[in-house]
Structure 1
Amino acid sequence: MSVSLRVPLYRLAHGRTGDKGDRSNISVIAWHPALWPVLVEQLTEAAVAERFAHRRPSAVRRYLLPGLHAMNFVLDHVLDGGVNDALNLDTHGKSLAFWLLDLPVDVPAELAHCLAGPPAPQD
């Protein structure tokens, strides 16, 4: 039986964001190449759409950049019409990246040494 650790995504990767109109893009970049397969397996279009269900994206697309151990997500219609049109004060894409980076991810225990931040607790 394989042991895994459940940690927030920011322990595996960092993010960059941008927004244009009512579209946000969120790039996720692995801290360590060994974590790339975990990201590809668990950070799917469906997982990101579910994470942002409260924002009701009309589409979520994932673009893989394996040479960079990175991926980019494009989320349509998640910014309340866009930064300039929205009455909501916090519709910038950057806040959405922070929300995504808090997503729980299961990491095989043997990759714990690749995680950023404090070491995982020992059972």
Structure 2
Amino acid sequence: MLLREIAHARTGDKGNISNISLIVFDQAQYELIRKSITADRVKEWLGKIVKGEVHRYELPQLGAFNFVLYDALDGGVTSSLQLDKHRKTLSSYLLEMPIG
């Protein structure tokens, strides 16, 4: 099963930091994601995109997680030469991660 089958996501940015909010469709799936989608696993999945640390914040009352990705925007939006300077596509890519 892919993450996109049980959750949706949105990406934001500030400076050279990106964050991905991951929200379950059904609160019953929260615990599965909590156990399966760790900060280390997200960092590994995103590979060379994230050069710094990844921190995961849990918001169980909302059925959500916030992953903060440090050094993930090639120095920041105003200095990056990437086509997706804000890295808005990171949320879509994260949702392709297999659960388990």
TM-score between both structures, scaled by the size of structure 2: 0.93
The residue aligned with 1:116 is none
Q: What is the CA deviation profile of residues 46-102 of structure 1, one whole-angstrom value per residue up to 9, with x for unaligned ones?
A: 110101122143110000000011000000011111111111111323111111111
What stretches of structure 1 of length at least 5 have no aligned partner? 1-6, 107-123
SS at match of 1:52: helix
State whether structure 2 residue 73 is matched by structure 1 residue 76: no
The residue aligned with 1:41 is 35
Higher Cα radius of gyration: 1
Q: 5 Å matches for 1:80-119?
A: 80-106=74-100
AA partner of residue 80 (structure 2): A
SS at match of 2:67: strand
In structure 2, distance between residues paired with 1:66 and 1:58: 26
AA partner of residue 66 (structure 2): N
Q: 5 Å matches for 1:5-44?
A: 7-44=1-38
* Structure 1 residue 21 displacement after superposition: 1.1
Q: What is the CA deviation profile of residues 22-50 of structure 1, one whole-angstrom value per residue up to 9, with x for unaligned ones?
A: 10010000000110011000110111010
What stretches of structure 2 of length at least 5 have no aligned partner? none
State the percentage of identical aligned residues: 43
In structure 1, distance between residues paired with 2:43 and 2:71: 12
Q: Which has the higher strand share?
A: 1
User: How many residues are paired up?
Assistant: 100
Structure 1 stretches of 4+ moved >4 Å: none
SS at match of 2:89: helix
